[in-house]
Amino acid sequence: MCQPQGFVNENKPDHVCLLKKAIYGLKQSGREWFQEMNTTLDRLKFRKLKWVNCVYFYQNNIVLLLYVDDIILIGKSNDYVNKVIELLKCHFDLRILGKTQKLLGVEFQELDGNLFMHQNDYINKICELYKEFNFPVSSLPIAKGTVLSKLQCPSTSVEITEMKNYPYRSLLGSLSYIASRTRPDISYAVNILSQFQENPGIIHWNILLKLLGYLSTTRGLQLNLSRVSDLNMECYSDADFAANRDDRVSIGGFIILLDEVPISWRTSKQKCISLSTMEAEYVSLTDASKELLWIQRILEECKKVLDQSLFTFKYAVYCDNQAAINFSNSCIENMRTKHIDIKYHFLRDLIFKEYFELKYICTKKNVADIFTKAQTKFKLKSFLDKIFGVY
């Protein structure tokens, strides 16, 4: 295997490591390491959050983020950080890499007092890896009006064999990794194309290449993590009724912003077949509220740990369907709604307990609209202005 980052032999940088035992596929190794790490941190008086197993606090001055054997320290000053480093050195063999510039393929950059997050290097590698396929330049992730179906998949053995020459699944996996971390603008296109990865057709492959072309054109987009001021948590939800041409399942999507910073987003096929637009929107609202509730509990726990009771977060969920909003605020059932699965009424309970306020927003201003359908250039530009700040 390649020498791991931070442990490269300066005299032999081109050499590789000879493994004495395979490090992948061991079912218990990751768990055993976490148990060891967690036990040590607990002994050192680190406090783990109940709602996130990889976040620890130390004396209200340090936040420790843990991912396997990668540790990120966030502190009020360098003195606090250095103190914790020395404390951890007594128990672990550490390699200090300085300020976090790259983590799990995501890059962090400080510029003019702002902290930006992007994956430019990763996108460059993907573009270089697939340049032999001559992907076209594109101004849209997926063109409006594009209709994809399993009827476009290969049906003969010759066609299936020919499509095996194209790395559809590999490229799609790379783009999915980018979409889920720093590029919400390609989430819808990735989700649609992922439905054909078992047996993709040449049409699906060409659209996937156009998506790569769009990503190459807009590789400079970065998320600004510093646009936080009033601590307002806004969740936008949307659904596209019976969008799938093969099984008529609706598509739902949402995005959650802390002031102007997107912190969570998702596009996915719904787990049930909705019978109306209202029902599809209601199901999407329920899925969005589950994610918002989890984030809300994390933030409230952080407030208690840091003893910052003066901080007040305001939570709001926006939907562009009045019928879904009225149904969410009501306990009345009728012939058109009593079949809806009870698990989706979880949303009503949250609204009744005032965890957040459910508000109406017109479709043109609904940020989540881009997660459920292809957009025009004008609508895409509006989304990029909102999420990335500048385009």
Could you tell me the pLDDT band of residue 309, with boundaries at 50, 70 and 90? low
Flag whether pLDDT at 307 surpasses 90: no
Flag whether pLDDT at 390 surpasses 70: no
Could you tell me the pLDDT band of residue 389, with boundaries at 50, 70 and 90? confident
Q: What is the DSSP letter of 300?
A: H
**Average of pLDDT values for 286-309?**
86
Flag whether pLDDT at 391 surpasses 60: no
Q: What pTM was estimated for this model as a whole?
A: 0.87
Look over the chain and give the mean of its residue pLDDT values, rounded to a whole number.
90
Flag whether pLDDT at 123 surpasses 90: yes
Among candidate residues 155, 135, 126, 139, the one with its CA nearest the CA of residue 207: 135
Strands 114-118 and 223-224: antiparallel
Rounded distance, CA 155 to CA 80, Å?
Answer: 63
Q: Specify burial of residue 307 (Cβ count, 10 A radius: 0-12, 13-18, 19+).
A: exposed
What pLDDT does residue 65 have?
A: 93
Question: How is the beta sheet containing 62-67 ordered, strand by strand?
Answer: 47-48, 55-58, 62-67, 70-75
Q: pLDDT > 90: what percent of the chain? A: 57
Rounded alpha-carbon distances, angstroms, from residue 305 to 60, 61, 189: 7, 10, 40
What is the residue whose two structure tokens read 């739902």?
252
Q: Which of 20-24, 77-81, 131-135, 236-240 has the lowest mean pLDDT?
A: 20-24
The dihedral sign for the CA sequence 260, 262, 263, 267? positive
Rounded distance, CA 98 to CA 112, Å?
Answer: 20
Could you tell me the pLDDT band of residue 281, with boundaries at 50, 70 and 90? very high
* DSSP 3-state of 161: helix
What pLDDT does residue 61 have?
A: 84
HSE-up (13 A, CA, CB side) for residue 268: 13
Rounded alpha-carbon distances, angstroms, from residue 6 to 3, 9, 20, 95, 383: 9, 9, 20, 7, 38
What pLDDT does residue 266 have?
A: 96
- Show contacts of 326-330: CB within 8 Å, 24+ apart: 327/278, 327/282, 328/282, 328/285, 328/358, 329/358
Could you tell me the pLDDT band of residue 286, with boundaries at 50, 70 and 90? very high
Supply angle C-alpha 49, 55, 56, rounded to 5: 75
CB neighbour burial string for 225-260, b if at least 16 within 10 angstroms, e if fewer: eeeeeeeebbbbbbbbbbbbeeeebbbbbbbbbbeb
**Average of pLDDT values for 341-360?**
90
Rounded distance, CA 182 to CA 9, Å?
Answer: 32
- DSSP strand E in 202-273: where? 223-224, 232-240, 251-258, 261-269
pLDDT in tens, 86-114: 999 999 888 888 888 888 889 999 988 88
What pLDDT does residue 314 have?
A: 83
What pLDDT does residue 384 have?
A: 92
What pLDDT does residue 245 have?
A: 85
What pLDDT does residue 288 have?
A: 96
Q: Which residue has the higher pLDDT, 290 or 3?
A: 290
- What is the chain's Cα-based Rg? 23
- Mutual orientation of helices 120-129 and 202-217 as an angle, nearest 10°? 140
List the structure tokens of 269: 């096929």
pLDDT in tens, 224-278: 999 888 888 999 999 999 988 888 999 999 999 998 999 999 999 999 999 999 9
Q: Which structural domains are found in the chain, ordered by start?
A: 120-218 (no CATH), 230-388 (3.30.420.10)
373 Cβ neighbours under 8 A, 6+ residues apart: 144, 188, 240, 243, 251
Q: Which of 11-20, 173-182, 284-293 has the lowest mean pLDDT?
A: 11-20
CA 277 to chain centre: 26
Among candidate residues 72, 52, 51, the one with its CA nearest the CA of residue 117: 72
List the structure tokens of 337: 């709604």
